[in-house]
Amino acid sequence: MSNTTQFDAIVIGSGITGGWAAKELTEKGLKTLVLERGRNVEHQKDYVNEFTPPWQAPNGGLPERDLDARDYPVQSKIERGAFGWANRQYWINDRENPYEQVKPFRWHRTDVLGGRSLTWGRQSYRWCEDDFLANARDGHGNDWPIRYADLAPWYAYVEKFIGVSGQPEGRKDFPDGEFLPPFAMTPVERALKQAIEAKWKDRCLTVGRVANLTQAHNGRAQCQSRAICNRGCSFGAYFSSLSSTLPAAQATGRLTVRTDSVVEAIDTDPATGKASAVRVIDSRTGERLTFKAKVIFVCASTFGTLQILLQSRSAAHPNGIGNHSDVLGRYLVDHAGAGGFAEIPGFMDTNYKGRRPTGIYMPRFRNLGGQDPDADFTRGYGFQGGAMRDDWTNTAAMSDDFGAGMKRNIARPGKWIAFLGAFCEQLPQAHNRVTLNDKVRGGFGLPQLSIDVAYGENERRMNLDAGKQAEAMLKAAGAQRVQLIPLRTIPGVSIHEMGGARMGRDPAESVLNGRNQVHGVPNLFVTDGSAMASSGTVNPSLTYMALTARAVDFAVAELKAGRL
């Protein structure tokens, strides 16, 4: 590929949003280049540990302490076992790619084609009407330039392609989607649902809506209920760029993918004001290359995108592209949380078979449509959790026994354990921001990204409330004793980092307009989490995908009309 090759479109990043941009752009007829900093990973072939059984796990699956401390000090601290021997190869090398933590922040990221679509938890929920209204209503953050109705058809469009299993619940504050059949709930989850819904009429407990296929869909196989998804799945049974969007883009014959390509900056043409080229460092050779296109989509993940935009400095954009108002890099948000788990007595004669790759969900019930009289915080949270029988990895540590009795006890399914963990909406605030530290160099000699984000008083109060509610609900279901645990107390841990290039109506207080178009740079679009003006309470990626598909639709129409 020569570096003068002209493309119709360039997509920066191949993760959840970049894959979608590539699919939509190519399907609409544009010759598209995807630039990905990570190395190439081939669907199926490179899921090297997918079928490694426990007895072949290196060191019995115990952490490689030296390696992790040296090369993965951030990534290895990821929660819920999402990092380990089976998929270490997907995560970024922290030593080679340092960033500055003004306050503790866990930046969890991959360094492979497909981005975090390979390792994500696949929970897929729509935002509701209220989520788009919250900023305007309580004055924290700017008004969203779009409403639920703008996104609803795009949610449907995305769901139909990726395949989301779930149970329709018919609630306005928790919109249903285009669902494949839901996974089944365990008997204790059903009992939990019954107990909670009987006591609190406004609460709803449902099985997790998840981008795992409960039946064959769009040429991909049905989920086999193994729950080892983050190793990669050769069945293509969960949504990832590698299983879904990139093959669709490839099939058009208009896709070019260039991996090992670290985007440094986007140039603008002083004459037209438009984005003219993307500057790249080849991570293997150090070679610097430039690629040109008529339209550019930045999909490098919230912080990856902010880094690129901040690095794109020119006479017209001295503080980074789109940073005319000093909003770029500000109003970062994530989801804080607290949770509780408890033993639920009884049900010892029932069990389950297989490993369900999702849990349960309870949509927000606090401060919905107004302030609850007993709430000392703004906004709310949703719960995720589940009720399963304890397994040997836990029960073995609950005793110090030995002998035949111990062997038998640990091998049998343990007690029923129920867990509820909150995802609390963080308020958008200007002081939570990222900047570039030009004095300290990170990977590829580029300035280090400096992250200065913390939770505040509102998040602290909301966490307390979430803990109390979790306890009350677990008790309602028969738990005698509930153990409350702080979750997601360090920002970044939820891996729902959002904001920094937020959408808005007013260019003075936002970076993007209601079409994810950079104010003043009409052919430059940003459609990942950095576009978010607030965080809502549900997992965000489905919304990023809907925004991406919608923005491409607009961009291509504008291009064809000669306006870009």
Ligand X SMILES: Cc1cc2nc3c(=O)[nH]c(=O)nc-3n(C[C@H](O)[C@H](O)[C@H](O)COP(=O)(O)OP(=O)(O)OC[C@H]3O[C@@H](n4cnc5c(N)ncnc54)[C@H](O)[C@@H]3O)c2cc1C
Residues that bind other proteins (CB under 8 A): 44-45, 48-65, 183-187, 221-222, 224-228, 234-235, 348-356, 389, 391-394, 396-398, 400, 402-404, 406-408, 410-413
Structure tokens at 186: 């365990």
3-state secondary structure 42-77: CCCCCCCCCCCCHHHCHHHHCCCHHHHHHHCCCHHH
CB-wise, 358 or 435, nearer to ligand SF4? Answer: 358
Q: Does 544 bind ligand X (CB under 6 A)?
A: yes
290 binding partner (options ligand SF4, ligand X, other proteins, none; Cβ < 5 to 8 Å by kind): none
544 binding partner (options other proteins, ligand X, ligand SF4, none; Cβ < 5 to 8 Å by kind): ligand X
CB-wise, 241 or 268, nearer to ligand X? Answer: 241
C-alpha distance from residue 264 to each of 93, 289, 402 (Å): 18, 10, 58
CB-wise, 13 or 175, nearer to ligand X? Answer: 13
304 binding partner (options other proteins, ligand SF4, ligand X, none; Cβ < 5 to 8 Å by kind): ligand X
Among 9, 528, 531, 555, binds ligand X (CB under 6 A): 528
CB 384 within 8 A of CB 361: yes
Q: Does 177 bind ligand SF4 (CB under 6 A)?
A: no
Q: What is the Cα 404 distance to its own chain's centre?
A: 45
Minimum distance of ligand SF4 from residue 436's CB (angstroms): 38
123 binding partner (options ligand SF4, ligand X, other proteins, none; Cβ < 5 to 8 Å by kind): ligand X
494 binding partner (options ligand X, ligand SF4, other proteins, none; Cβ < 5 to 8 Å by kind): none
Q: What value, to the nearest 5°, has the Cα angle with vertex 382 and ends 378 and 386? A: 155
In one-letter notation, the amino acid at residue 263 is V
CB 243 within 8 A of CB 490: no
Give dist(CA 134, CA 128) in Å, integer. 10
Distance from first CA to last CA of the chain, Å, rounded? 25
Q: Does 229 bind ligand SF4 (CB under 6 A)?
A: yes
CB-wise, 408 or 439, nearer to other proteins? Answer: 408
Left, alpha or beta for 257 (phi > 0: left; psi -120 to 50: alpha)?
beta
Structure tokens at 495: 């891996």
Structure tokens at 363: 């949509």
The residue range among 15-23, 152-160, 320-328, 411-419 that interacts with ligand X, by the rule CB under 6 A, is: 15-23
Among 224, 252, 409, 489, binds ligand SF4 (CB under 6 A): 224
CB 375 within 8 A of CB 390: no
Among 235, 297, 365, 544, binds ligand SF4 (CB under 6 A): 235
The residue range among 27-35, 233-241, 453-461, 536-544 that interacts with ligand SF4, by the rule CB under 6 A, is: 233-241
Q: Which residues in the 19-78 window bind ligand X by CB under 6 A? A: 35-38, 78
Among 7, 154, 238, 455, binds ligand SF4 (CB under 6 A): 238
Give dist(CA 461, CA 468) in Å, integer. 11
Torsion 29-14-207-215 (CA) sign: positive
Give dist(CA 139, CA 129) in Å, integer. 17
- DSSP assignments along 362-385, one per residue: E---SSTTS--TT--SSS-EEEEE
CB 526 within 8 A of CB 305: yes
15 binding partner (options ligand SF4, other proteins, ligand X, none; Cβ < 5 to 8 Å by kind): ligand X
The helix or strand, by DSSP H or E, that contains position 540, with its residue range, turns out to be none
Among 540, 546, 551, 552, binds ligand X (CB under 6 A): 540
The helix or strand, by DSSP H or E, that contains position 440, with its residue range, turns out to be strand 433-441
Minimum distance of ligand X from residue 117's CB (angstroms): 5
Q: Which candidate, 543, 521, 546, places its Cα nearest to that of 534?
A: 543
Give dist(CA 143, CA 518) in Å, integer. 17
CB-wise, 300 or 512, nearer to ligand X? Answer: 300
396 binding partner (options other proteins, ligand SF4, ligand X, none; Cβ < 5 to 8 Å by kind): other proteins
398 binding partner (options other proteins, ligand X, ligand SF4, none; Cβ < 5 to 8 Å by kind): other proteins
Q: What is the Cα 229 distance to its own chain's centre?
A: 15
CB-wise, 119 or 435, nearer to ligand X? Answer: 119
Q: Does 388 bind ligand SF4 (CB under 6 A)?
A: no
The DSSP secondary-structure symbol of 178 reads: S
Name the closest residue to ligand X (Cβ). Answer: 15
In one-letter notation, the amino acid at residue 394 is N
Q: Where are the beta strands (DSSP E) in 205-345?
A: 206-207, 255-258, 261-268, 275-282, 288-298, 330-333, 335-344
CB 100 within 8 A of CB 440: yes
Minimum distance of other proteins from residue 352's CB (angstroms): 5
Q: Does 304 bind ligand X (CB under 6 A)?
A: yes
87 binding partner (options other proteins, ligand SF4, ligand X, none; Cβ < 5 to 8 Å by kind): none
Q: Does 206 bind ligand X (CB under 6 A)?
A: no
Q: Does 177 bind ligand X (CB under 6 A)?
A: no
Query: For binding to ligand X (CB under 6 A), which residues are involved?
Result: 12-18, 35-38, 78, 82, 108-109, 111, 115-117, 119-123, 262-263, 299-301, 304, 308, 495, 528-529, 539-541, 544
Query: For binding to ligand SF4 (CB under 6 A), which residues are involved?
Result: 212, 223-229, 233, 235, 237-238, 357
